[in-house]
């Protein structure tokens, strides 16, 4: 069943009851695909999700974000040379200042179980989330979609041979009560745009 059928089927309680009777109340539920679960959780929290077939589309979407928010020719907080190089054609002034209009970065992983974005000192350096601008634009790839935080930590360790410092998740996109999850310590509510680029 595709995503749209699932979304529209939610209102049909009697068919869900019939399904539960047929499979049994305590039978394990079908696993939701990682990409679908992430998209639902992320957008439900208020994150803005833009799927891109390639980096050219990501640049086009980024241009629309700049126009929508009137961020052209403005200061942007960006702490990674590779990201600065990738977005150097947009006439932006890159800095590490918290007073910039928005923060531009990549990430470690996208965590589907919480609809959150895993980042570390590779993206943040020594900064905490509350020290970043309120607006974030994150670039990620479909290959970075994973099920949970422990899988993300293992993936980071496998890539680098060590766990970086300052690991946290960006997962508060609306003014809701903050989680007691230790991985979101220091999290603050942010306006998040995610450019998800297909690479699989």
Q: Rounded mean pLDDT of 184-193? A: 72
Q: Tell me, which fold does domain 32-197 have in CATH?
A: Rossmann fold (3.40.50)
pLDDT class of 179 with cuts at 50, 70, 90 = very low
**Which residues, 6+ apart, have CB-to-CB distance to 32 below 8 Å?**
40
Give me the percent of the chain exceeding a pLDDT of 70. Answer: 78
121 vs 189 pLDDT, higher one: 121
- Say what the pLDDT of residue 178 is: 46
User: How does the average pLDDT of the chain come out, rounded?
Assistant: 84
pLDDT given at position 200: 85
Average pLDDT over residues 34-58: 95
pLDDT in tens, 160-175: 888 888 999 999 886 5
Which tokens belong to 155?
A: 């993936």
Count of CB atoms situated within 10 Å of the CB of 108: 22
| Rounded alpha-carbon distances, angstroms, from residue 176 to 6, 26, 191 | 26, 32, 13
Q: The dihedral of CA 141, 125, 151, 35: what is its sign?
A: negative
Radius of gyration of the chain (CA): 18
Q: Where are the domains of the chain?
A: 32-197
- Per-residue pLDDT band for 31 (boundaries 50, 70, 90) equals confident
| pLDDT classification of 24: cutoffs 50, 70, 90 | low
Residue 64, pLDDT > 90, answer yes
Range of weakest confidence among 23-32, 49-58, 79-88, 130-139: 23-32
pLDDT value of position 57 = 97
Bridge-based pairing state of the strands 168-170 and 145-146: unpaired
- Listed in order, strand segments (DSSP E) in the chain are 48-52, 75-77, 93-95, 102-105, 109-111, 116-119, 135-141, 145-146, 168-170, 191-197
């Amino acid at each position: 069943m595709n995503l749209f059928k699932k979304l529209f089927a939610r209102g049909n309680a009697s068919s869900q009851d019939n399904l539960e009777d047929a499979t049994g109340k305590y039978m394990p539920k079908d696993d939701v695909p990682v990409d679908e679960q992430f998209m639902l959780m992320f957008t439900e929290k208020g994150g803005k999700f833009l799927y891109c077939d390639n980096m050219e589309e990501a640049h086009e979407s980024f241009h629309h974000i700049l126009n929508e928010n009137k961020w052209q020719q403005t200061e942007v907080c960006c702490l990674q040379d590779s990201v600065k190089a990738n977005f150097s054609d947009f006439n932006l002034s890159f800095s590490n200042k918290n007073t910039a209009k928005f923060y531009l970065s990549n990430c470690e992983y996208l965590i589907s179980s919480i609809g959150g974005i895993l980042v570390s000192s590779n993206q943040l350096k020594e900064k905490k989330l509350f020290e970043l601008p309120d607006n974030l634009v994150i670039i990620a790839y479909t290959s970075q979609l994973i099920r949970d935080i422990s899988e993300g930590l293992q993936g980071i360790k496998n890539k680098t041979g060590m766990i970086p410092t300052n690991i946290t998740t960006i997962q508060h996109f609306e003014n809701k009560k903050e989680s007691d999850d230790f991985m979101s310590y220091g999290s603050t509510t942010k306006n998040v745009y995610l450019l998800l680029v297909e690479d699989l």
